[in-house]
């Protein structure tokens, strides 16, 4: 599983959630956490050719080689963070997300607009998002502590998402 954090903040709550998933499923799942979306260049269709930047090629290859993808992101100004949108934009000219099982977790204070937007973006690039593989964690600061500890109720919901995602991997 490729796990992508939509936050560029080090030790963010989104990163904590991805690390918790890696620990929870360490016996049954290889979770590769990608924290470098801020290293991708700004998307420019003129640069999306056979000489595309090596960081873009690497990012695309990670998605292509993954059995499934988990995206965990905050909400920035009622939208998907620019760096996450930029990363997904770099996949538009490819088929790396086509029919790829993808789970999405929006962990933020509110998050409704990002939840709707991210689902639309992922479906547009062809991702397969199982119904139970979507989670909106509102008021995330009260559910994920500063040291990464996650409330039992939230952890249970996260497990439902991951179990649904894994059931969709063929």
Region 2-167: CATH code? 3.40.50.360
* 100-120 burial code (b ≥16 CB/10 A, e <16): bbbbbbbbbeebeebbebbbe
CB 66 within 8 A of CB 96: no
Give tens-digit pLDDT for 102-151: 999 999 999 999 999 999 999 999 999 998 999 999 999 889 988 888 99
Q: From CA 165, how far away is CA 5, in angstroms rounded?
A: 17
Beta bridge partners of 106: 73, 136
- Tell me the percentage of the chain whose pLDDT exceeds 90: 92
Sequence spans of domains, the chain: 2-167
């Amino acid at each position: 599983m490729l796990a992508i954090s939509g936050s560029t903040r080090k030790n963010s709550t989104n990163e904590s959630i991805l690390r918790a998933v890696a620990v929870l499923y360490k016996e049954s799942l290889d979770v590769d956490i990608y924290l470098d979306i801020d290293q991708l260049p700004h998307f420019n269709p003129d640069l999306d050719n056979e000489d595309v930047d090596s960081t873009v090629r690497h990012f695309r290859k990670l998605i292509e080689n993954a059995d499934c993808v988990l995206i965990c992101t905050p909400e920035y100004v009622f939208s998907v963070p620019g760096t996450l949108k930029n990363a997904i934009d770099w996949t538009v000219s490819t088929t790396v997300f086509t029919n790829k099982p993808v789970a999405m977790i929006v962990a933020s204070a509110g998050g409704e607009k990002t939840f709707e937007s991210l689902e639309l973006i992922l479906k547009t690039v062809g991702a397969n998002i199982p119904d139970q593989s979507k989670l909106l964690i509102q008021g995330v600061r009260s559910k994920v502590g500063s040291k990464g500890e996650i409330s039992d109720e939230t952890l249970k919901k996260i497990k439902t998402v991951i179990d649904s995602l894994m059931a969709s991997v063929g």
